[in-house]
Amino acid sequence: MYPKSFYENVVYIHYSQIFSNQQLLKWLRSDPLFDHPLRPPAEIQFTAQQIENLHQYTQKHSPQDILNHLSSCHASFITIYDEIYPNQLREIYDAPALLYVKGDSGHLSSPAMLGVVGARKADEYSARALRQIIPELLSKGICIVSGLAAGADGAAHVAALSGKTIGVMGSGFSHQYPSSNEALYKKMEQDQLILSEYPPYQKPARHHFPMRNRIIAGLSKGIFVTQAALKSGSMITVDRALEEGRDIFALPGSVFHPLSAGTNFLIKSGAKPVVSAADIFEEWF
């Protein structure tokens, strides 16, 4: 059990976004109780600009300021050392040092999580397949993890609202992206779980989404791809999932549809084709 000061100091430094996740992980290993947040360990190679930025940050903001801001956003956080932090995510080589959470953090204790990814322009074929397959997965206690994006992500979350679903954002909670999913976001922050590696004030940025995808892959026992181009964010997520030893599932599609090129390639390469929930059950139960 860590003292209250540990959590206050970790979120205080993380909130600044001055240091990379890898730097913060090294800092935590060097100073396990995080007793000296204003004195970064000398053995970690921080830049002079980072040290100056830290000085300016601490002049403007106190730890209580950060806690107050989180409270005003109706958000909380967990660290990599918390018992509720999922073991499968903790084991990846660049596990998030801290996650901001909204909603039911009990979802993190789900016995099995399936990541669902696909194109932002995924069509009705993808949505219909998810509406058919996901309810059966929920009946086995599987939690659906996706990225709260347009297309396949949103369809997966909607299909899972009667069970458990986790949305992983590529921005802070105050910057819901895309805006078309605002109603879904509000529903999920009340009844489901939303996670972000980024403080609430952080706007979406292109480089955030591969980082978000590593969390989806890290949380999940397997990844199910519904529709994806050969070169796409979904395929990058698959590559990351393979690095972590996760199962790969794919929805077969028409050879004439460009968004089935990625899934058909995955099946040809050894991914398990999924036409019903039973195909996933065969691997997991």
- 41 and 137 both lie in a single domain: no
CB under 8 Å to 285, separation ≥6 — which residues? 140
In 3-state terms, what secondary structure has residue 221? Answer: coil
What span, in angstroms and rounded, lies between the C-alpha atoms of 68 and 62?
A: 10
Last residue of a domain, one of 27, 50, 72: 72
What span, in angstroms and rounded, lies between the C-alpha atoms of 30 and 88?
A: 23
- 189 and 254 both lie in a single domain: yes
Residue position matching structure tokens 């979406």: 204
Asked if 37 and 9 count as a contact pair (C-beta separation under 8 A), the reply is: yes
What span, in angstroms and rounded, lies between the C-alpha atoms of 24 and 41?
A: 11
- 133 and 265 both lie in a single domain: yes
- The predicted structure's pLDDT at residue 40: 87
- The predicted structure's pLDDT at residue 2: 87
For residue 82, is it within any domain?
A: no
- 131 and 232 both lie in a single domain: yes
For residue 83, is it within any domain?
A: no
What's the domain count of the chain? 2
Give every residue of the chain whose pLDDT is below 70, as ranges: none
- 172 and 33 both lie in a single domain: no
Q: What is the CATH number of the domain that holds 145?
A: 3.40.50.450
Q: What is the dihedral of CA 98, 23, 149, 282, to 10 degrees?
A: -70
* 130-147 per-residue burial string, b: 16 or more CB within 10 A, e: under 16: beebbeebbeeebbbbbb
Pairing of strands 98-103, 222-225: unpaired
Asked if 109 and 206 count as a contact pair (C-beta separation under 8 A), the reply is: no
What pLDDT digit, counting tens, does each position of 143-189 carry? Answer: 999 999 999 999 999 999 999 999 999 999 999 988 899 999 999 99
- The predicted structure's pLDDT at residue 122: 96
- 165 and 273 both lie in a single domain: yes
Pairing of strands 76-79, 98-103: antiparallel
For residue 241, is it within any domain?
A: yes
For residue 93, is it within any domain?
A: no
- The predicted structure's pLDDT at residue 179: 87
Tokens (6 digits) for 27? 């800092």
CB under 8 Å to 191, separation ≥6 — which residues? 103, 104, 161
Query: How much of the chain, in percent, has pLDDT values that exceed 70?
Result: 100
In 3-state terms, what secondary structure has residue 229? Answer: coil
In 3-state terms, what secondary structure has residue 130? Answer: helix
- 66 and 176 both lie in a single domain: no
- The predicted structure's pLDDT at residue 282: 97
Give me the chain's average pLDDT, please.
96
Asked if 140 and 281 count as a contact pair (C-beta separation under 8 A), the reply is: yes
Asked if 100 and 200 count as a contact pair (C-beta separation under 8 A), the reply is: yes
- The predicted structure's pLDDT at residue 257: 96
- 125 and 56 both lie in a single domain: no
- 141 and 248 both lie in a single domain: yes
- 41 and 120 both lie in a single domain: no
- 127 and 48 both lie in a single domain: no
Q: Which domain holds residue 45?
A: 4-72
For residue 79, is it within any domain?
A: no
pTM above 0.85, yes or no: yes
For residue 94, is it within any domain?
A: no
In a 10 Å sphere around its CB, with 0-12 CB exposed, 13-18 middle and 19+ buried, how is residue 270 labelled? Answer: exposed
